[in-house]
């Protein structure tokens, strides 16, 4: 199962992927260093499943879900830009923030705040990128079901992938991060 932005076909090289990732997170802000995340090529090349993966994740509440709220949930990004990259997702399948009810908006932001606190406590990041990509042009991989990205950042994390190495190590890394983070999100 695959998740997250940017869209397939949007990127042709690892270098391009890294740049697009950073621009997607930063909203295209100039001067931001690229986060190198070569395992994201796995997502870009992967066959996309039928239906909406976020709807499926919301129903199944399986691996990588960190917190289930009443109207939204928090889960790991399986193809993260940095370790600890999580997403806040409403259960309802909708693409435009104007379609959210006030209760959903409130809970999305509450869960975003919880994610920041939990990540800060568990991993001690020095900063965060938080945001949404709406539409393919903005780099949304799953554009029909909106989601908020929370990406913890460390000084120098633009280089960490060269240390981490090959694509195949990443699923284990995400699983390990999920297990590490779970206690910080409280009981489901």
Smallest separation (angstroms) from Zn ion to the CB of 44:
20
Smallest separation (angstroms) from Zn ion to the CB of 56:
8
Closest residue by beta carbon to Zn ion = 52
Report how far residue 107's alpha carbon sits from residue 89's, in angstroms, rounded to the nearest whole number.
10
Question: Is 147 known to be catalytic?
Answer: yes
Provide CB contacts within 8 A for 67, sequence distance 6+. Answer: 73, 74, 111, 114, 185, 186, 188
β-partners of residue 86 are: 76, 150
Of the pair 36, 133, the CB lying nearest Zn ion is at 133
Q: How many CB atoms lie within 10 A of CB 32?
A: 15
Which tokens is 133 given? 């990509």
Smallest separation (angstroms) from Zn ion to the CB of 71:
14
Of the pair 110, 143, the CB lying nearest Zn ion is at 143
Where on the chain is the footprint of Zn ion (CB under 5 A)? 52, 54-55, 93, 145
Of the pair 93, 105, the CB lying nearest Zn ion is at 93
Annotated catalytic residues are 147
């Amino acid at each position: 199962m695959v998740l997250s932005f940017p869209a397939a076909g949007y990127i042709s090289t690892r270098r391009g992927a890294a740049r697009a990732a950073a621009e997607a997170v930063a909203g295209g802000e100039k001067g931001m260093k690229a986060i190198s995340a070569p395992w994201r090529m796995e997502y870009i090349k992967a066959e996309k499943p039928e239906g909406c993966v976020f709807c499926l994740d919301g129903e199944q509440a399986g691996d990588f879900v960190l917190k289930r709220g009443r109207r939204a949930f928090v889960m790991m990004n399986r193809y993260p830009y940095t370790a600890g990259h999580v997403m806040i997702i409403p259960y309802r399948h909708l693409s435009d923030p104007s379609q959210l009810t006030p209760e959903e908006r409130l809970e999305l932001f509450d869960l975003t705040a919880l994610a920041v606190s939990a990540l800060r406590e568990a991993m001690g990041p020095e900063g965060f990128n938080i945001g949404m990509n709406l539409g393919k042009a903005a780099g949304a991989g799953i554009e029909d079901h909106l989601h908020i990205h929370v990406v913890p950042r460390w000084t120098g994390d633009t280089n960490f992938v060269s240390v981490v190495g090959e694509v195949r190590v990443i699923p284990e890394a995400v699983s390990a991060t999920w297990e590490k983070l779970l206690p910080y999100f409280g009981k489901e």
